[in-house]
């Protein structure tokens, strides 16, 4: 192993620790399983074998000194934080036989001082939406299932704006009424949701998937976890599945960590993106395994509101050691990006059978910029197109209009989106179906700073020609290399592939 390896603590609570085994060069799995042990007061408290670059340990005791030892790493010494209260939901009336435990959970949370643990014990606990508060650790240990009820009547509605006039809920980048999520946190600091349990969003049990783009009773579908204006949000160890729409949606959040999760939605569930950080900063996504019905990770920054408000930017996003299976895209930026998305790093990830690997999508009228995006040291296997950049994405009712789709230069103004400094490097793309890269800029705002280098590419023998992205007039491609249009001086070097397939479209 490299001398730069280290045990990087990501989430530490009174009863749980999630770490990253950083610097190994591994992607979503370690090359060789490693033994580990947890020691306290000179005795082994736990031990085992880790096969992935993330590890979650639960069953810790508050206020205790521990040492975590992993083969080939320096030991990590840590002290679990104190716990102000331990609150078992059963003590507030929660029952496995109850049709809806939302009131019991709310009663338990109401008693929780800052620094408390809300304990959801092993068992299946049905609930409607639950609202979290600052300083709370929601602990779902192995065997615990928080199961969303299917009755839409049990879901309160979040108004587009709160009483203070600030945005409270959103849908596809603009304020809108939405049903409250299974777990909802608004204006909350230092909330942690963690453990080896399960949160089931109940998507298949209700009617949520029958109306993906509509409203019912005046509101849009809920997420499974929604956080608005939260700081230091941390979610780790859990399996989160069966989401009604987007699975995890942080909006206007700062300093969030999502680690060692399984996000699992059926492949035919509509718009069930895995993780959608929107208008948020300083986000870490580490060791998450995605298999979803839409994009695995969709990084967004809203759309210009009807009153002309430009949403806040998204910046400083780090994606590491993730596995992304199926889905429309592995890591997707946009199409809601009016506030700008910058400084995104995707490294040491694996993408399997996603329609695209790294995908950037926008259109005239969105404004904002996408800049300083780097994907490196990844493996893509069976993807349609490894890098897709589309400035003519046909979203919204006018998406196929001439104003959006015309390839002639349009006037440049504040609503002209800009794309710059996109890097794809040191990555192996196996069994590509359509193209290694398809990059389409605007004639009036060409893409600059595109770099594709040190790539190894092979093509799927059973590939069928298809368009690389969603815009009018794109060619159907099979086994194409790198195709660019309206891109200024791209840097393309070190590409190992069967044929010379790098060209600029006329």
Distance CA 477, CA 487 (A): 19
Backbone dihedral angles phi then psi of residue 306, each to the nearest 5 degrees:
-55, -30
The SS3 assignment for 272 reads coil
Q: What share of the chain is helix, strand, coil (3-state, %, to 5)?
A: 5, 45, 50
Question: Which one is catalytic: 28, 200, 273, 294?
Answer: 294
Contact 58, 15 (CB under 8 A): yes
Encoded tokens for 95: 């029952």
- Dmax (CA) of the chain: 72
Which of 249, 328, 433, 479 does the annotation list as catalytic?
Answer: 328
Helix (H) or strand (E) holding 429: strand 418-432
Q: Within 13 A of 79's CA, how many CA atoms are on the CB side?
A: 6
151 a catalytic residue = no
CA distances from 249 to 90, 235, 339, 370, 448 (A): 28, 12, 17, 20, 30
Within 10 angstroms of residue 171's Cβ, the number of other Cβ atoms is 17
Write out the two tokens for 137: 């650790």
Contact 126, 153 (CB under 8 A): no
Core vs surface per residue 223-258: b (16+ CB within 10 A) or e: bbbbbbbbbbbbbbbbbbbbbbbbbbbbbbbbbbbb
Strand blocks (E) in 85-209: 85-88, 116-119, 123-127, 130-132, 136-139, 144-148, 157-158, 170-171, 174-175, 178-179, 183-186, 192-194, 198-200
Q: Can you tell me which residue has the tokens 């298999």?
A: 291
Q: Which residues contact 307 (CB under 8 A, 6 or more apart)?
A: none
Query: Cα angle at 12 between 11 and 15, to 5 degrees?
Result: 125
What is the distance between the alpha carbons of residues 276 and 299, in angstroms, rounded to a whole number?
5
* Catalytic residue check, 92: no
Tokens describing residue 444: 């009036």
Catalytically active residues, by annotation: 294, 328
């Amino acid at each position: 192993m490299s001398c730069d390896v280290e045990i990087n603590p990501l989430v530490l609570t009174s009863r749980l620790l999630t770490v990253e085994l950083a610097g190994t060069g591994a992607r979503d799995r370690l090359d060789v399983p490693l033994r580990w042990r947890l020691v306290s007061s000179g005795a082994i408290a736990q031990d085992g074998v880790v096969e992935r670059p993330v590890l979650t340990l639960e069953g810790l005791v508050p206020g205790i000194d521990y040492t975590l030892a992993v083969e080939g790493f320096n030991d990590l010494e840590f002290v679990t934080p104190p716990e102000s209260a331990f609150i078992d939901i059963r003590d507030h009336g929660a029952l496995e036989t109850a049709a809806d435990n939302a009131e019991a959970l709310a009663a338990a949370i109401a008693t929780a001082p800052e620094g408390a643990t809300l304990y959801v014990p092993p068992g299946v606990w049905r609930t409607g939406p639950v609202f979290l508060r600052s300083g709370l650790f929601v602990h779902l240990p192995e065997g615990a299932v928080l199961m969303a009820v299917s009755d839409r009547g049990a879901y309160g509605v979040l108004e587009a704006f709160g009483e203070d006039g600030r945005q409270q809920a959103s849908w596809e980048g603009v304020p809108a009424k939405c049903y409250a999520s299974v777990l909802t946190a608004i204006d909350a600091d230092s909330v942690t949701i963690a453990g080896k349990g399960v949160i089931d969003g109940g998507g298949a049990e209700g009617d949520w998937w029958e109306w993906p783009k509509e409203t019912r009773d005046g509101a849009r579908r809920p997420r499974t976890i929604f956080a608005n204006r939260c700081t230091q949000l941390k979610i780790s160890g859990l399996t989160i599945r069966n989401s009604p729409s987007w699975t995890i949606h942080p909006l206007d959040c700062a300093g969030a960590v999502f680690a060692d999760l399984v996000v699992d939605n059926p492949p035919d569930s509509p718009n069930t993106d895995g993780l959608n950080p929107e208008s948020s900063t300083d986000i870490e996504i580490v060791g998450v395994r995605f298999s979803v019905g839409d994009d695995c990770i969709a990084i967004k920054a809203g759309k210009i509101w009807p009153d002309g408000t430009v949403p806040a930017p998204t910046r400083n996003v780090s994606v590491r050691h993730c596995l992304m299976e199926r889905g429309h895209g592995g890591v997707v930026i946009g199409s809601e990006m009016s506030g700008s998305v910058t400084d995104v790093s995707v490294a040491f990830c694996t993408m399997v059978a996603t329609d695209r690997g790294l995908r950037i999508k926008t259109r005239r009228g969105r404004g904002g910029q996408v800049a300083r995006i780097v994907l490196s040291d990844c493996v893509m296997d069976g993807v349609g197109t490894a890098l897709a950049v589309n400035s003519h994405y046909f979203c919204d009712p006018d998406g196929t209009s001439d104003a959006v789709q015309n390839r002639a230069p349009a006037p440049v103004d504040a609503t002209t989106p800009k794309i710059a400094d996109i890097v794809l490097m040191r990555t192996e793309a196996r069994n590509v179906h359509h193209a290694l890269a398809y990059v389409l800029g605007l004639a009036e705002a060409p893409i600059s700073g595109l770099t594709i280098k040190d790539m190894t590419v092979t093509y799927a023998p059973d590939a069928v020609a298809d368009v690389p992205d969603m815009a009018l007039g794109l060619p159907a491609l099979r086994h194409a290399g790198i195709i660019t249009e309206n891109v200024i001086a791209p840097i393309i070097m070190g590409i190992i592939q069967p044929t010379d397939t790098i060209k600029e479209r006329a």
